[in-house]
Structure 1
């Protein structure tokens, strides 16, 4: 037995309260090393004859990556408190793993064991329940639809011309209002807007006034109408908050430029020395190396108050449903804790989404974000389906690692995207092969989490890195890939119809055949098995005995024992338990 690979810590993703009565406990061990793991657990205050009273329950193997197995159990402690350990068995021996190390026998005193002191309801991570059933659509307002030409910027380009980093095409909020029925028809239930506040660029990540709609997009009247119309149609609205940095034209920064050390706003920014500019050198911290984006000092109380006022204002006045937080990992944790308290006190089910591209457990402990943009999912999915640079085993290993990195209720609301304004278009990543993209959508829309479609991906827009990925939406139906559109629409209708298709479902990879990706989603009395053939070779797949004579909900045909699957094809098999 490999003792050095056996690991548990009673915190974060290894031991957490799933709800106010339920604990989830996980153990990590070397891949293939253990045959069986049993949880020893009990109330630390229950004793008899000077011996601690405990129970034993088997854990199940929840998944494996390239290095580790992950064992899982869900329990409901009678008195909301727990001491616990693990009996680990391989083919040779059995040992007891506790907080104090390994033992050959079960120890009779609870002080040897790991501790979950008390399951306090207030400590339970509670993301908004509506999020896991939401399908998001990301809109880059300047390039989506021009609904009011009277507010176009000067020198506006012709809609559909090649985008550059600095040109404008006149997309606005009225254009979104005009296209809401299109989104409803597709099956969208949430819109994520990149910034809409006053700024000098077309992307608006250089905010000048956080309390004003950019005049090229409209005004507060049209935005209020937009939110109201979205809500009438069952669509949530999430705005982009750029609180890591401001724009160069932000009034407090302009005051510092003008008055230097005499400015009352000098502590609003990270200034190294005065003057702020010396020829080509800047003496203040920025986002990246962008001088037009000075970094805000969120440790400053006045900055905190201002930004928290902004966060409250758009919820209180316009009833928005979520905030996406730009460059969230570069802002201090203390500010985000205050941010969460502030917005949740106004609207408890508001969705807080952080832009973080890496492992994000420090931000997902219930005191800061509800979710992050799940780029770890994105990169794994693109490598497997679009670039085809990873094997089925490598893909499953990487996704298992992501799943096991977070508690289950964090995974249920993870923001799963395939592309955005910061990445090449997903069809371009697929080398223009629509069938690769279709398989990507099958996986994205059935994986645990809340999926997001970047505007235009559903009708086959292409483009490389910025600015290529920010081209104008194509509204001429003769130039849209309508087959792709209806494919995505059908997937979304199935996602809406079947609970196990959505995030309600328990996810598990299966090993049915070589080079075939297969997994199940289970919810209540319903189980779906997804089988995907990424290759261009026809496969004959023998189905498990418990999936005999089942309905393929994609083709609406019944399948028994053997499933013939063409190259670049898939099946979605439904089994209902009695």
Structure 2
């Protein structure tokens, strides 16, 4: 038993309240080391003349990554408090593990064990309930549809007439989105994530000039209100992009600093290193990356905080938006985000708060800041395995398992799972324009745990390299759209809506990975239904034995809605898949 690899801490993803009465407990151990594990648990105040009263229950092997196994147990303490430890076995020895380390047998000293002091309902992580059932669609407004040419900025080009360049304008606006909203309804979309819509000097609008005004190329506030109302009438939620880490160069406060220098009343709004403040040859103020056009805001400054929190409230109160996506969220101080959450939730408790963070995000997901982050580790694993072929089936399962065990299960349900965005090459391009691979990506994304997001145009087969190539105009001529791909994505979204196990209620588990054939088999399971999905990520036709007992289960091919004729082995075409439904 390699004791150095065994790890638990009574917090975050290792020990947490799943709901108002349930605790989830995880234990990490070296991969393949433990043969079984048991949770020892009891109320810290329940004693008899024989000592502390406790019970024991077996833990399940939740999954494995490259180095570790993860063991899991769920327990409902009668009085909402718990002392607990682990009884663990390898092939050669056994031990009991607690907060004070290892013992050969159960300790009589309750201080030896880990402590969950009390399950306070207010501490339970709760994202808005509607999010787990939402399928998002990301719109880059400048490139979705031009509904009112009178709003076109100077130099606007005919729609889709050329491949975009960094400074290209095609005139996308709110009226164009309203006119084409039925495209989203037909697909099954129930949430739109808009990249920034506020007044700015670029086509991407991440350089905000005025956080209180709509960029005139998109329309006015009256049109935006109509857009939100139209979305809500169609059952679609609306999330806006907030750039609170930095402003644009032409933001009034920063222009005042450049004009008045040390005499500016806004000099505390930014991170200025010296005077005179200057952008060239190198900015002597903090920026997003090293872009002089995006000076970093000092969110610790009381006036900055007051202004931005007013912005957060205003667009919810006046326009009834349903969420905020927070750009470069990891570079803003935690205290600001705590106040941001209180402000937003006071106005609309069911608003969704999504942070853009590309790395381990547990510090932001403890219930006091964000409801979710953009799940880029999911994105990387899916693209590396299916689109690029740079990792094999086992590595794919290891990476996804690591993503899942990095957070509590209730956090994973709200994770924002994307495949492509305005920041990355189009997924069909990453797939080397192999649409069979793209279909597997959509299948996996829409059957995984979390809330999935489709980047506009990916559902009809748009291509494009990294920015600006990934920001092509949406194609509205149906003869130029891949309608077969559209209908496949539509069908997957329908399965997600109609089958709780296929969607976010299904407990996800890898059942098999095979590096020789490069296939994976995984299950999604609820109390009443199990769905098993097999993916052949290879150019060869293969036969797969499903590692599951089908006795008395009446398996159905869910994709074709036909009884499954052969259960011991199924044939998968190159880059093919099978979706099998089993009812209890």
8 A Cα contact 1:512 1:541, kept in partner: no
Instruction: Deviation per CA, 1:416-463: give whole Å up to 9, x if none.
Output: 000000000000000010000000000000000000000000101000
1:543, 1:121 → 2: CA distance?
A: 41
- Superposed, which structure 2 residues align to 1:511-530 within 5 Å? 511=512, 514-530=517-533
Instruction: Deviation per CA, 1:317-361: give whole Å up to 9, x if none.
Output: 111111000000000001001000110111111100000011111
Over 4 Å off, 4+ runs: none
1:402, 1:201 → 2: CA distance?
A: 35
Q: In the alignment, what sits opposite 1:285?
A: 286
- Superposed, which structure 2 residues align to 1:361-440 within 5 Å? 361-440=362-441
2:513, 2:168 → 1: CA distance?
A: 51
Q: In the alignment, what sits opposite 1:503?
A: 504
1:541, 1:246 → 2: CA distance?
A: 54
Q: CA deviation at 1:478?
A: 1.1
Q: In the alignment, what sits opposite 1:138?
A: 138
Q: CA deviation at 1:92?
A: 1.9
Task: Call closer, same or farther: CA 1:336–1:279 in 2, change over 3 Å.
Answer: closer
1:512, 1:457 → 2: CA distance?
A: 28
- Superposed, which structure 2 residues align to 1:74-473 within 5 Å? 74-160=74-160, 161-277=162-278, 279-473=280-474
8 A Cα contact 2:397 2:513, kept in partner: no
1:369, 1:543 → 2: CA distance?
A: 39
Q: In the alignment, what sits opposite 1:534?
A: 537
Q: In the alignment, what sits opposite 1:546?
A: 549
1:546, 1:507 → 2: CA distance?
A: 17
2:52, 2:169 → 1: CA distance?
A: 71
8 A Cα contact 1:198 1:213, kept in partner: yes
State which drifts further: 537-546 or 231-240: 537-546
Q: CA deviation at 1:544?
A: 3.9
Give the match's secondary structure for 2:34: coil
Unaligned runs of 5+ in 2: none
Q: CA deviation at 1:365?
A: 0.7
2:23, 2:402 → 1: CA distance?
A: 21
TM-score by length of structure 1 reads 0.99
Give the match's secondary structure for 2:549: helix
State which drifts further: 270-279 or 134-143: 270-279
Task: Call closer, same or farther: CA 1:20–1:280 in 2, change over 3 Å.
Answer: same
Q: CA deviation at 1:545?
A: 5.1
8 A Cα contact 1:512 1:543, kept in partner: no
Q: CA deviation at 1:162?
A: 1.3
1:544, 1:10 → 2: CA distance?
A: 34
2:342, 2:513 → 1: CA distance?
A: 47
8 A Cα contact 2:521 2:546, kept in partner: no
TM-score by length of structure 2 reads 0.98
2:280, 2:122 → 1: CA distance?
A: 53
Instruction: Deviation per CA, 1:185-239: give whole Å up to 9, x if none.
Output: 0110000000000000000000000010100000110111111111111100000
2:478, 2:181 → 1: CA distance?
A: 16
Q: CA deviation at 1:494?
A: 1.0
Task: Call closer, same or farther: CA 1:301–1:565 in 2, change over 3 Å.
Answer: same
Q: CA deviation at 1:278?
A: 6.6
Q: CA deviation at 1:109?
A: 2.1
1:416, 1:545 → 2: CA distance?
A: 28
1:251, 1:565 → 2: CA distance?
A: 60
Q: In the alignment, what sits opposite 1:64?
A: 64
State which drifts further: 551-560 or 87-96: 551-560
2:442, 2:510 → 1: CA distance?
A: 17
2:421, 2:280 → 1: CA distance?
A: 35
1:186, 1:201 → 2: CA distance?
A: 30
Q: CA deviation at 1:91?
A: 1.6
Task: Call closer, same or farther: CA 1:6–1:219 in 2, change over 3 Å.
Answer: same
8 A Cα contact 1:51 1:109, kept in partner: no
Task: Call closer, same or farther: CA 1:238–1:287 in 2, change over 3 Å.
Answer: same
2:147, 2:550 → 1: CA distance?
A: 51
Q: CA deviation at 1:512?
A: 6.8
Task: Call closer, same or farther: CA 1:512–1:247 in 2, change over 3 Å.
Answer: closer
Instruction: Deviation per CA, 1:354-396: give whole Å up to 9, x if none.
Output: 0001111111111110100000000010000000111100000
2:2, 2:136 → 1: CA distance?
A: 44
Task: Call closer, same or farther: CA 1:207–1:279 in 2, change over 3 Å.
Answer: closer
When the two chains are superposed, the root-mean-square deviation of aligned CA atoms in Å is: 1.0
Instruction: Deviation per CA, 1:495-525: give whole Å up to 9, x if none.
Output: 1110011111100001175532110001220
Residue 571 (1) aligns with residue 578 (2): yes
8 A Cα contact 2:457 2:475, kept in partner: yes
1:21, 1:86 → 2: CA distance?
A: 21
Report the number of matched residues. 577
Q: CA deviation at 1:279?
A: 4.3
